[in-house]
Amino acid sequence: MFQVTTSASVASARSLSSKGTVLLRNEGLLPLARGKNVAVIGLADSIHGIRDAVGDSGSVVFNCGMDVEAAVELAKQSDYAVVFVGTLSGEGSDRSSLSLDVGTEWAGQNQAFWCMSGA
């Protein structure tokens, strides 16, 4: 059995972690403003925290994201769109791209993301 918690392995893990971390700049978008309309799109387990942030004077509408056109339209009609996406990748193999997995129920969400972001 291998010892994976040596000081060298911990130092290596910390180094790789810091090199692979991406920080996004918040330019006034967060926290969500109260009283706004928020679209929550994708497989979100719980939207209670978003509802709490928006407050009673705003609205939170959920769309599972399976109908790409409906998700895009909801996002366009909302002040904010919070989009949850995922992949099926794991350890032991490389990905050919950063796109979402083709052939899964999420494949159309690449298109939805680009439509919603205006790219």
Inside any domain, residue 2: no
Inside any domain, residue 35: yes
Q: What is the pLDDT of residue 30?
A: 78
Inside any domain, residue 11: no
Inside any domain, residue 74: yes
Inside any domain, residue 17: no
Query: What dihedral angle (degrees, nearest 10) is formed by the CA atoms of 5, 11, 14, 16?
Result: -110
Q: What is the pLDDT of residue 73?
A: 93
pTM of the model: 0.59
Number of independent structural domains in the chain: 1
Inside any domain, residue 25: no
Q: How is the beta sheet containing 37-42 ordered, strand by strand?
A: 59-63, 37-42, 80-84
Q: What is the pLDDT of residue 59?
A: 92
Inside any domain, residue 41: yes
Q: What is the pLDDT of residue 104?
A: 53
Q: What is the pLDDT of residue 87?
A: 66
- Per-10-residue mean pLDDT, the chain, length 119: 76 79 73 89 77 89 86 92 75 70 53 52
Sign of CA dihedral 47, 48, 51, 52: negative
**Distance separating alpha carbons of residues 49 and 60, to the nearest angstrom:** 11
Q: What is the pLDDT of residue 109?
A: 53
Nearest to 81 by CA among 63, 108, 97, 55: 63
Supply the range of the domain harboring residue 74.
Answer: 30-86+96-117
